[in-house]
Amino acid sequence: QVQLVESGGGLVQPGGSLRLSCAASGSIFSINAMGWYRQAPGKMRELVAVITSKGSTNYADSVKGRFTISMDNAKNTVYLQMNSLKPEDTAVYCCHAKITRLVVGREYEYDYWGQGTQVTVSS
């Protein structure tokens, strides 16, 4: 099995910063991509940022220039540095990973999700 454990959420004032972390552990052959999604009350879940194992990144337009995603391959950990936070960034942020596992000698890719961490931007 694979677990994703997130940390770093909390309450911050507008204009402030937070850094989210998500560590993957368990039966991992390789991590193909990791990313962050968020869901605000009454809204659909949306992609915030994603990074592949080769370092390619993609961001939602609403966070470009403010958020930075990075990955430490040795630690199987993805980070989301969030700067210049706005009240509209308030949401539950969930980590996602596309992970390849070996099952009976064959490679299979699976999707895994973290439990979510609350980010609240308010004065």
The pLDDT tens digits of the residues spanning 94-121 come to 999 999 999 898 999 999 999 999 999 9
pLDDT tens digits for 29-71? 999 999 999 999 999 999 999 999 999 999 999 999 999 999 9
Q: Give the per-residue pLDDT at 65.
A: 97
- The strand pair at 117-121 and 91-103 is best described as antiparallel
What's the rounded mean pLDDT across residues 3-31?
A: 96
Q: What is the pLDDT of residue 52?
A: 96
Supply the DSSP string of the chain, one letter for each residue.
-EEEEEE--EEE-TT--EEEEEEEEES-SEEEEEEEEEE-TTS--EEEEEEETT--EEE-GGGTTTEEEEEEGGGTEEEEEE-S--GGG-EEEEEEEEEEEEETTEEEEEEEE---EEEEE--
Q: Which two tokens stand for residue 8?
A: 């770093």
Cβ-Cβ contacts under 8 Å for 70 (sequence gap 6 or more): 51, 78, 79, 81
